[in-house]
Structure 1
Amino acid sequence: MRKEVDEVESVLAELREALARAGIILPSLGLDPVSYAHRTMPPLVELGRCNTDTARRLAKALGER
């Protein structure tokens, strides 16, 4: 389980950095606590909630790819 958590934390760091380069901050970005506590489910990334301005910037950044 620790290996999976380390992997999620690494992906979270990568995602935070990529979002920051696009000028986007997702305050609730983190490790999903329910999946972390689950015995058989792998840990998941919780993208969290954001305001409409952030959602628009995220949509724009994804559309530029």
Structure 2
Amino acid sequence: MTVVRAREEKDWVAEAQEVLDKLAQALSGVGIVLPSLRLEHDRVSDDGPLLIDLGRCNLRVARELSEALERAGHE
């Protein structure tokens, strides 16, 4: 792995972690916790070598998430 590629991957990890943290904070702000929310290092996306895994949630959390998104869409 080249130094440039290693630096790019480090930047991607930092950016992905920042986005994940902002997402978790925004969800928490409307009372939603996705317990499986995490970075998935071994998957590739169009934006870089990482994906944010939203994970699985139960019916209550899915309902709360859909209601929060509906409210946001009406603002």
Interval containing the TM-score (normalised by the shorter chain): 0.7 to 0.9
Note the aligned Cα RMSD (angstroms): 1.3
For the pair 1:3 / 2:14, whether they are aligned, the reply is no
For the 8 Å contact 2:41–2:49, the answer to whether it is kept is: no
1:1-65 to structure 2, matched below 5 A, reads: 1-35=9-43, 42-65=49-72
* Runs of 4+ that moved beyond 6 A: none
Instruction: Count matched residues.
Output: 61
Q: Which of these two proteins has the greater Rg computed from alpha carbons?
A: 2
The one-letter code matched in structure 1 to 2:31 is G
How many angstroms does 1:29 deviate by? 0.2
What is the TM-score of this pair, normalised by structure 2? 0.76
Q: Structure 1: give runs of 5+ residues left out of the alignment.
A: none
What is the TM-score of this pair, normalised by structure 1? 0.87
Q: Structure 2: give runs of 5+ residues left out of the alignment.
A: 1-8
Q: Which structure exhibits the higher relative contact order, with contacts defined as CA atoms closer than 8 Å and separated by 6 or more residues?
A: 1
Instruction: State the identity %.
Output: 43
